[in-house]
Structure 1
Amino acid sequence: MCPVPTYPAPTSPVPASSIPQKRGLEDDHQPAVSSPLNPDFKPSKLPDDAPLARERATRAKKESLKKRESKGGSLAAESSTRSTPDPKAPNSIKHKKKGNAPAPMRYKLPPPKATDFDPPTGPIPIQAHTKTAPDGSEIEFNEMTEHVYNKRGFHYTHCIADPAFPSSLYYRQSEAGPFGPRLSFEDTSTYMFMDESGKHVTTDKGFRMAKANLAIRQGSWYWECKITSGIPKRKRSEAGVGQQSANGHVRMGWARREATLDAPVGFDAYSYGIRDARGQKLHMSRPKDFFPPGEEIQEGDVIGLEINLPSEALHRKVVEGHYNPAVDLADDEPPGIETADIIRDRVPIRHKGHLYFEQIDYHAVKELEELMNPSPVISSQGGIGGLGQEPGPTHPSPSLRTLPHSSIKIYKNGELIGSPFTGLLAFLPPASSPIIQNGAREGLDDGMLGYYPAVSVFRGGAAEVNFGPNFWYPPPGYGMSTDVAMTGSDQPAESNLNIVRPVSDRYDEQIVEDIVHDIVDEVDFWIQDGCVSGKGARNGVLPITTGLGGGVLGSEIKELVQDDE
């Protein structure tokens, strides 16, 4: 039986006359931001007749109306209608003590089939063609079939029925082979060909993108991309630098969840890429020179990509508007001490005999679309929302806030070329928002937001990824013992965010996180049901006709139909 909490008896209110009154001058001279001398500073409430108060109230009301009109659903009121959610709102991303976070959405599901308890399987490969790598080896590329793609506003992860999870209606997250860090079969564009290991990728179409099956959220991480078909070295003098290659092209970089898969990495504001022709850097489709003049990326070259992100604690300060550049000079927050609440609103679906969790995905926001393609009308009115500021850590719009101490470094065949990108855009909510539709709740982090290793190929271009730990060209200092590096420190070795780690390590961490989140969800639902296990869901269960995909669950789990167009 669950313990029944007790509360102290209410006390009589303190007479207003006994409360000390502030002098008027104190309000006039209060600091605009917090500082080490007043860490608990809270801005005083402005009077109702203050011009600034009226301006803010009008702006918030106008934005709320627009969002309500665009949502138009019964659940629109559940979503935040502010650019920065109200800290008092139940769905706010503001960090709360465990137990106060919103619970995941819960659906009444039909009993699992016997086959739902079988381990998930990967896609079925159908041989397409072979390519000869620069070293003479043959690479067999396959068309991966019988699996679902992340598109049309939904994100998919494998799941399995498990009798150890009765309160969450038996389903938990799982993985399908080949196990380990690789390119994701679900998080890739159609018309892509891969080998069975998920390490080689190519296409015969225009630019398409494939992302890895893991996300980087904090720390320093490294991976490599080898060009197996692209600009030939033997024809460089004939074709000229940057000329069209008959063997296709390759671009590589880092991409967020929102980055479109039917375009090259670096196409929009959600990805940062390097192109093989001229070795240029790309962000928002704006190529800029980066490699030394006359140098480009050719067949056989290995490009190392290192990303550096601040701790999630500092990241949350930025997106919640608490970051103060005069105070937060260093990223000295101990990672792992205080973690964010991970809320995963998802429902199991079936696709060609495979079970997946379906989640509403995050989408491109208007602020970053405007940043990529500025509107003359909006620009003439002073920029986005009248702000008219470049992206930065303290930008008024969370989507346009950048991360201090963040950067991307590029290596070519083991030689450091430089850092083409610094001040990467933040990705934690509210910087990222779900697609507006029934079932979407703003301000929630599902644990899979972050920067993904990404490769895009063009008309025969092909690449091989290496996520470690055995690299072709390890970065400087790689392999140094973390125990030695942290000698004399009270923090565990893995908490040092400045040590460059192979992306392969992140795969293991991500599996552990999924297991922990599944257990937390199971316990949450078990408590909602009065701490009685296996008796079925009672509290907070949505109707049987409700689903994230808008389908009807009925007596069977919804069958997802997805074409390849």
Structure 2
Amino acid sequence: MTDSAPPPPPPPPSSIPSKRPSTATDDAPRSRPTVKSSGHREPREKKETWRKKEGTAAGSLGGGGASREAAGGGNGTHSGKQTGNTTPKGVETESPGLVRYQLPPPQFLDYHAHRAPPLALEETPSTEGDWFVVNDHPMNRRGFRYSPCKASHLLTALSYRGTEYEPFNARINYEDMNPQVCINDAGTGVTTAKGWRMARANVGVREGDWYYECKVVNGITEGGAADGHVRVGWARREAPLDAPVGFDAYSYGLRDQCFEKVHMSRPKAFVQDRSFVTGDVIGLHISLPPLSVQREISGDPTVKSGDVIRDRLPIRFKNQLWFEHFEYQPTKEYEDLMNPATNSKPSSAPKTLPGSFIRVYRNGELIGTPFEGLYAFLPPASKPLPALGGRELDDGALGYYPAVSVFKGGAAEMNFGPEWLAKPKDLPDNVRGVWERYDEQIAEDVLYDLVDEVDLLFAPVLTDDERGGTKSLAARGGRKEVIKEMIIDDE
């Protein structure tokens, strides 16, 4: 989207937040039991279970604007009511709406293009070539993730929109990798001198058939010696960056040692008596059912409607603007899959996607299909932390992402196309290279921006009574308020 020439700088400086205060949970302190004159103590308040407490927090904090206030954010309202899962059956509700924030006017430089992060050359004795660390850059952590943004003249109500920085193609996401990961100058190769560290791509897939390949630059040698280790696969947003691919239920990985498949930290035989070694090219084809099918499986009314609602707030870091989003976090249901509790009622099994699979190639030859029936990712399968103010919504970033993890000198280079190092001869015609998702994601983001702009321009602001007594912006007479400071601590 092209904006017009920037206007002259406004006289007062902008107050876009640059820091976030440490957040407190919304749990109210429990009152002490009272003692009556007769000396009789009232019954002790019964403690809530983990699941009940989580559900209560989600219901009480699901309102978006109030959620950000409780978490130290700004003020906001909704264009619709929050439904949540606590609504009694038979009660008609409206869909959740977009959060409205009173934002200060942008600065002159906020309209300019985003700069790529500075790269510093890093010594990597175990790995040949030039490798770099990313400096002065926000990394996804602590329940939040970050994406570059800029001010927009065209979106007068939204004021800010997403943007990109160089290199403008599918690559490693510099915000979505462990800080101990080093990258090459193209942004497609990774290595580390530490233990297992992971990096995700800047493009994810939500439906259809997609393919990418990963070349082992430094790993197990033909003789069996290990100069480092590499694992490669697909990961959801919740998969941790300080663990290998396949560590939990949110990712599916392939282990170089013995060419085993790994899911929930359980290696299983896949290729007998064979490891993938330095120089090998591992291709991964993922197949996911259409989103229409996935939304029906979800059962969530908001998800079934197809609404994509993005709770995000512009912040300032190192004199550049970033959107801060609520990140999806691991839930008890998925944790129980890895470590089932023996003394409690087992959680219901997460839903799977019919017909989904991951197919693996080595140097252009089909090896097999190690994973089928992948776990669903649309809400309620994915949830942000309600205590931070996150709402159980699809923000358009859910899906499966190409992911690679490296260990103590291991190095790998991801190739998303369109030119392949070892293209499989029998790859189906309907399979697309992940490189195509880069432009698609930008187009989707622009579409979501236009929808949000129309919503903010024409959707009515609810009255105090409609919002359950919470003061709306309209009730405050349109008074402009500054969003509180935000903190992004350096590692």
Given that residues 544 and 553 in structure 1 are in contact (C-alpha distance below 8 angstroms), is that contact kept between their aligned partners in structure 2?
A: no
Is 1:553 matched up with 2:480?
no
Distance 1:258 1:65, change over 3 A: closer
Distance 1:475 1:539, change over 3 A: farther
The equivalent residue for 1:466 is 415
The equivalent residue for 1:68 is 56
CA distance in 2, matches of 1:366, 1:142: 37
The letter of the residue matching 1:109 is: L
Q: How much does 1:553 deviate?
A: 2.1
Specify the SS of the correspondent of 1:377: coil
Is 1:305 matched up with 2:299?
no
Is 1:221 matched up with 2:210?
yes
Cα deviations across residues 272-304 of structure 1 (Å, max 9, x unaligned)?
A: 000100001000000001012x20010000000
Larger radius of gyration, structure 1 or 2?
A: 1
The equivalent residue for 2:84 is 80
Unaligned runs of 5+ in 1: 1-60, 91-99, 240-244, 323-337, 392-399, 481-498, 531-536, 546-551
Given that residues 82 and 97 in structure 2 are in contact (C-alpha distance below 8 angstroms), is that contact kept between their aligned partners in structure 1?
A: no
The equivalent residue for 2:446 is 515
Given that residues 300 and 379 in structure 2 are in contact (C-alpha distance below 8 angstroms), is that contact kept between their aligned partners in structure 1?
A: no
The equivalent residue for 1:371 is 337
The letter of the residue matching 1:227 is: V
Specify the SS of the correspondent of 1:437: helix
Given that residues 350 and 560 in structure 1 are in contact (C-alpha distance below 8 angstroms), is that contact kept between their aligned partners in structure 2?
A: no
Given that residues 328 and 385 in structure 2 are in contact (C-alpha distance below 8 angstroms), is that contact kept between their aligned partners in structure 1?
A: yes
Q: How much does 1:101 deviate?
A: 4.5
Cα deviations across residues 478-532 of structure 1 (Å, max 9, x unaligned)?
A: 595xxxxxxxxxxxxxxxxxx11100111111110001001111111111379xx
Is 1:102 matched up with 2:96?
yes
Distance 1:459 1:108, change over 3 A: same
1:270-309 paired onto structure 2 within 5 Å: 270-292=250-272, 294-309=273-288
Is 1:424 matched up with 2:374?
yes
Is 1:254 matched up with 2:234?
yes
Cα deviations across residues 63-95 of structure 1 (Å, max 9, x unaligned)?
A: 65653268875659957245x9979675xxxxx
Given that residues 294 and 353 in structure 2 are in contact (C-alpha distance below 8 angstroms), is that contact kept between their aligned partners in structure 1?
A: yes
Given that residues 199 and 403 in structure 2 are in contact (C-alpha distance below 8 angstroms), is that contact kept between their aligned partners in structure 1?
A: yes
Is 1:502 matched up with 2:425?
no
Specify the SS of the correspondent of 1:519: helix
The equivalent residue for 1:563 is 490
Q: Answer 1 or 2: which has greater helix percent.
A: 1
The letter of the residue matching 2:294 is: H
Distance 1:65 1:258, change over 3 A: closer
Distance 1:340 1:195, change over 3 A: same
1:135-150 paired onto structure 2 within 5 Å: 139-150=129-140
CA distance in 2, matches of 1:174, 1:269: 31
Given that residues 57 and 386 in structure 2 are in contact (C-alpha distance below 8 angstroms), is that contact kept between their aligned partners in structure 1?
A: no
Is 1:124 matched up with 2:124?
no
Specify the SS of the correspondent of 2:422: coil
The letter of the residue matching 1:432 is: S
Given that residues 326 and 384 in structure 2 are in contact (C-alpha distance below 8 angstroms), is that contact kept between their aligned partners in structure 1?
A: yes
| Match of residue 195, structure 2, among 191, 206, 209 | 206
Q: How much does 1:540 deviate?
A: 9.6
The equivalent residue for 2:17 is none
Q: How much does 1:431 deviate?
A: 1.2
CA distance in 2, matches of 1:540, 1:449: 35
The letter of the residue matching 2:253 is: G
Distance 1:438 1:206, change over 3 A: closer
Is 1:447 matched up with 2:396?
yes
The letter of the residue matching 2:489 is: Q
The letter of the residue matching 2:105 is: P
1:24-423 paired onto structure 2 within 5 Å: 67-68=55-56, 75=67, 78=82, 80-81=84-85, 90=93, 101-129=95-123, 139-168=129-158, 170-233=159-222, 235-236=223-224, 239=225, 245=226, 247-292=227-272, 294-320=273-299, 340-378=306-344, 381=345, 383-384=346-347, 391=349, 400-423=350-373
Once the two structures are aligned, what percentage of the paired residues are identical?
Answer: 45
Given that residues 188 and 414 in structure 2 are in contact (C-alpha distance below 8 angstroms), is that contact kept between their aligned partners in structure 1?
A: yes
Specify the SS of the correspondent of 2:441: helix
Distance 1:262 1:66, change over 3 A: closer
The letter of the residue matching 2:194 is: K
Distance 1:543 1:288, change over 3 A: farther
Given that residues 248 and 461 in structure 1 are in contact (C-alpha distance below 8 angstroms), is that contact kept between their aligned partners in structure 2?
A: yes
CA distance in 2, matches of 1:346, 1:65: 25
Flag as ranges the 4+ runs of structure 1 deviating above 4 A. 61-66, 69-79, 84-90, 130-133, 477-480, 537-545
Number of aligned residue pairs: give it: 415
Q: How much does 1:440 deviate?
A: 1.9
Distance 1:319 1:339, change over 3 A: closer
CA distance in 2, matches of 1:469, 1:85: 51
Q: How much does 1:459 deviate?
A: 0.5
CA distance in 2, matches of 1:266, 1:72: 34
CA distance in 2, matches of 1:354, 1:291: 48
CA distance in 1, matches of 2:163, 2:417: 23
Q: How much does 1:463 deviate?
A: 0.3
CA distance in 1, matches of 2:432, 2:360: 15
Distance 1:89 1:465, change over 3 A: farther
The letter of the residue matching 2:56 is: R
Q: How much does 1:561 deviate?
A: 2.5
CA distance in 1, matches of 2:459, 2:228: 56
The letter of the residue matching 2:263 is: H
Cα RMSD after superposing both structures? 3.0
